[in-house]
Amino acid sequence: MISKIALEEHFLCPGFEGYWRATTGSIDPTVASGLLARLTDFGETRLEAMDRAGIARAVLSIAGPGVQSERDAAVARRRAREANDFLAREVEKRPDRYSGFAHLAMQDPRAAADELERCLRELKFCGAMVNGHTNGQYLDHPALHPFWDRAEALQATIYIHPTDPITPSPALEGHDGLRRATWEWGFETGSHALRLVFGGVFDRFPRARIALGHLGETLPYLLWRFDSRAKLYRVSLEKRPSDYIRQNIVVTTSGMCSPEPLNCALAALGTDRVMFAADYPFESAQEAGQFLDEVPLAHGVREDVAFRNAVSRLGLPTP
């Protein structure tokens, strides 16, 4: 069993249960209660799951949507700061096992930039997670340029996590099994990332960094297509779309325990741009860990995915 650093390990802090429960309507109440118990645990239950998976360190982040769904910007700012302070206290109890991603109130771009800087400099977090759009505003909006300016200067990785789309897709009407994590979230989050690419955000902020889960939300599979259609439609960018995806985006294995998409991501993006993630407690950390232990990979690549890339890109200690 190889030692691993796991991104996308979720938690909830006091006062955030309401945000999360608003998204669980289609989940069996018993299952939701079990998830909530694991989301609010920082002790033996979580640590035992990590140990069974070979996870030496977990990077903890708020389970969505968090304050991304808050309508009151002042409340969002206050509660994001409270969440970050809460997480910092939990990390301080087990600095050998836990690190943190900042939670940010994107309703106020300058305040979000300030909080990101505070979290990185004072709380020693290793990046931030944004749970998709914020009340319909995506991260390519011009109002967010002050945020990206600061994130770029801090060399901060911004992990874009799935959320529900603004309007449910009519194409999925009558097929609830295709909603949310099955298909809907992947399209939503991949589209969010492509808005940054095609919207020129990486031309304006060439050193900005984002991360995507689920091995890139299908983007590595479509690089040629993006380049071909951008040329056809005369999209005005300094580089090909695939260049930005390879240079400004890293991906994680969250919720994808299958060799075919892993091999595609490694081949399309490079072995230094794929990191391990467990998506705990929504996925089995043990299954994710066992998959990485056993999937056939070239010499050294398993270590790259398991921990080396996270050490390099997020400034984490080697496990």
So which residues are the catalytic ones? 279
- Asked whether the beta carbons of 99 and 60 are under 8 A apart, the reply is yes
**67 contacts: CB under 8 Å, gap ≥ 6:** 19, 75, 76, 79, 80, 83, 103, 104, 105, 107
Are 248 and 208 within 8 A, CB to CB? yes
Decide: helix, strand or coil at residue 157: strand
Per the document, the length of the chain is 319
How many CA within 13 A on the CB side of residue 43? 2
Report the distance separating Cα 269 and Cα 4, nearest Å: 21
With CA atoms as reference, report the closest residue to 135 among 19, 8, 18, 254.
19
Cβ atoms of residues 115 and 84 within 8 Å: yes
